[in-house]
Amino acid sequence: MATPQFASFYPDFYIERLWDKCIKCKRCVKECPYEAHIWDAKKKTLLEDHIKCVGCHRCEAICPTKAIIIRRHPAQFREHALWTSWYIKNVYKQADQGGVLLTSTGCALPFKNYFDHLVLDACQVTNPPIDPLREPMELRTYIGPKPEALEIEEVNGKFRLKKKLPPLLKLETPIMFAAMSYGAISLHVHQGLAKAARDLGTYYNTGEGGLHASLYEYGSNTIVQCASGRFGLHVDYLNAGVAIEIKIGQGAKPGIGGHLPGEKVTEEISKTRMIPVGSDALSPAPHHDIYSIEDLRGLIYALKEATEYKKLVFVKIAAVHNVAAIASGIVRAGADAVVIDGLKGGTGAAPTMFRDYIGIPIELAISAVDKRLRAEGIRHRTSIIASGGIRCSADVVKAIALGADAVYIGTAALIAVGCTMCQRCYTGKCPWGIATNKPELIKRLPPEVAYEKIYNLVKAWSHEIKEMLGAMGINSIESLKGNRDKLRAVGLTKEEMEILEVKHAGE
């Protein structure tokens, strides 16, 4: 007797077909890479395999007659406060296969989102707001170390700085595109991100997958990453961008490395990552040359030396309970910016239990790091870049008011190009052509469409940020940085407000 596969008995989604509208065009069969739709040639009808449906809604969106509706499966387990259907189904899956539960995106559990418990100040009578449509509003900011004071001298009747400032990154908006590797997402998405970054006056991050040859032209808007696997890492790559990011950890899976399955390593990805076609790209949890802050300092200055001190070096860490102390060590090791990735930061593949239970929210981490660096008198020596769970322009404003210089967005950019958060990126079968390397799927998202959607998103957010700044009586993003007096808490404990350094609404 065959061992029953319990997980296959209980689908998550239900495919409802409206037969009065269905014309049996078989478009749904063609569009679904998971084979949830089946054409029965003998009976000349369409069938559904509900267990294979991941809830991506591709078939629902593409159906020419709108004959498909994707719903949560109506079958319910008996109510139980502890053993919800999510935990029951996870146990079934692991009992069937004996493997680690995998997932994608960021933490899906309903932990408190601190951005939603912070409200912004607004000006009224004695301190009137600024009209962003008729008065200049400055979103430009600079990433990198700043001097404690500027020393100016006069030469031939002209004033100039006595000491040359170190290289800085100029952002026309405080929003950058987070590290997403070529291989985890398609080349078309990378091309859209790169072009949007160029036209918006900001930067995109290559992630740990190296830099495809077609993207070198966008070098002046590129941040290259140096991760533990060192994929695609060579001197030309390091010099291709304007900054180098050492990835120590990420919010979706602190303390573990990365894994790009071999089936996603095509010939082009093989060339870029410098690994054999079809081989798994495994990033170890630690960098095997970094076991202390002193080791990290060695790598920071090795990268600076390799690029003739023309490139900034960032260090990316996950938000964990001792993040402030870690950030302090990173700054003292010579990092020009500290990137903090919070609990809700996305990923292409992670063990489910890691994604949902390890790390801390980005809001608490930003405040803790900013507070620590200010207390130690070294805040000016670095920039803080916040990442993980930035969903809208208001989140950007609140992150900066808590102490960040700028933010990275990743998941928001993917949603802008069509992602429906089905959390199956690791399969490489993304129906929207985003997290895939299959040619027949990649072509569903042309690079020019990706560019337009991403560009429009950041343009819209930037406009909203200007309006919020104007409402607060501020005409520059620099005046908002660390300005917690523009924030008030609603429904937070005294301890939470102390960590965030904000007052309660009404104070």
Which tens digits make up the pLDDT trace of 241-261? Answer: 999 999 999 999 999 988 887
Q: What is the pLDDT of residues 34-84, one digit of tens each?
A: 999 999 999 999 999 999 999 999 999 999 999 999 999 999 999 999 999
Mean pLDDT of 273-293: 91
- Tell me: do 154 and 233 sit in the same domain: yes
59 annotated as a binding-site residue: yes
Mean pLDDT of 180-186: 94
The answer to whether the beta carbons of residues 410 and 180 sit under 8 Å apart is: yes
Please indicate, yes or no, if residue 30 is contained in any of the structural domains: yes
**Per-residue pLDDT band at 162 (split at 50, 70, 90):** confident
Per-residue tokens: 317: 């860490």
Other beta carbons within 10 Å of 116: 14
Within 8 A by CB and 6+ apart from 300, the residues are 246, 313, 315, 333, 334, 335
Mean pLDDT of 185-195: 97
- Residue that terminates a domain, selected from 54, 75, 96: 75
Q: What are phi and psi of 282, to 5 degrees?
A: -105, 120
**Per-residue pLDDT band at 154 (split at 50, 70, 90):** confident
Which residue type sits at 78?
R
Q: What is the pLDDT of residues 441-500, one digit of tens each?
A: 999 999 999 999 999 999 999 999 999 999 999 999 999 999 999 999 999 999 999 999
Mean pLDDT of 107-123: 96
Burial class, 148, CB count within 10 angstroms (exposed 0-12 / middle 13-18 / buried 19+): exposed
- Residue that terminates a domain, selected from 75, 96, 111: 75
Please say if the pLDDT value at position 502 is more than 80. yes
Residues 464, 466: Cα–Cα separation, whole Å: 5
Residues 76, 88: Cα–Cα separation, whole Å: 11
Give pLDDT, residue 138. Answer: 97
**Per-residue pLDDT band at 113 (split at 50, 70, 90):** very high
Specify the pTM.
0.95
Residues 57, 54: Cα–Cα separation, whole Å: 8
- Tell me: do 58 and 204 sit in the same domain: no
Which residue type sits at 409?
I
Q: How far is CA 83 from CA 91, 97, 380, in A?
A: 10, 20, 49
Per the model's pLDDT, the better-predicted residue between 42 and 263 turns out to be 42
Query: Domain count of the chain?
Result: 2
Alpha helix positions (H), 223-307: 235-240, 267-273, 293-306
Please indicate, yes or no, if residue 121 is contained in any of the structural domains: no
- Residue that terminates a domain, selected from 50, 75, 100: 75
Q: What is the mean pLDDT of the chain?
A: 95
Please indicate, yes or no, if residue 113 is contained in any of the structural domains: no
Give pLDDT, residue 227. Answer: 94
Residues 252, 318: Cα–Cα separation, whole Å: 8
- Tell me: do 34 and 154 sit in the same domain: no
Other beta carbons within 10 Å of 82: 5
The answer to whether the beta carbons of residues 484 and 98 sit under 8 Å apart is: no
CA 334, chain centre distance (Å): 25
Q: Could you tell me what percent of the chain has a pLDDT over 90?
A: 91
392 annotated as a binding-site residue: no
**Per-residue pLDDT band at 140 (split at 50, 70, 90):** very high
Please indicate, yes or no, if residue 468 is contained in any of the structural domains: yes
Residues 237, 331: Cα–Cα separation, whole Å: 24
Per-residue tokens: 429: 């079968």
- Tell me: do 149 and 32 sit in the same domain: no
Give pLDDT, residue 497. Answer: 98
Please say if the pLDDT value at position 1 is more than 80. no
25 annotated as a binding-site residue: yes
CATH code for position 349: 3.20.20.70
DSSP 27: H
- Tell me: do 420 and 320 sit in the same domain: yes
Please indicate, yes or no, if residue 103 is contained in any of the structural domains: no
CATH code for position 66: 3.30.70.20
63 annotated as a binding-site residue: yes
- Tell me: do 35 and 161 sit in the same domain: no
**Per-residue pLDDT band at 287 (split at 50, 70, 90):** very high
Mean pLDDT of 271-281: 90
Per-residue tokens: 414: 């993917």
Mean pLDDT of 158-171: 89
**Per-residue pLDDT band at 25 (split at 50, 70, 90):** very high
419 annotated as a binding-site residue: no
- Tell me: do 58 and 147 sit in the same domain: no
- Tell me: do 180 and 304 sit in the same domain: yes
- Tell me: do 56 and 166 sit in the same domain: no
Task: Give the length of the chain.
Answer: 507
- Tell me: do 390 and 251 sit in the same domain: yes
430 annotated as a binding-site residue: no
Other beta carbons within 10 Å of 235: 9
**Per-residue pLDDT band at 149 (split at 50, 70, 90):** confident
Give me the domain span that covers residue 39: 12-75
**SS3 assignment for 145-183:** CCCCCCCEEEECCEEEECCCCCCCEEECCCEEECCCCEC
**Per-residue pLDDT band at 157 (split at 50, 70, 90):** confident
Map tokens 């899956």 to a residue. Answer: 93
Q: Half-sphere exposure (CA, 13 Å, Cβ side) for 118?
A: 26
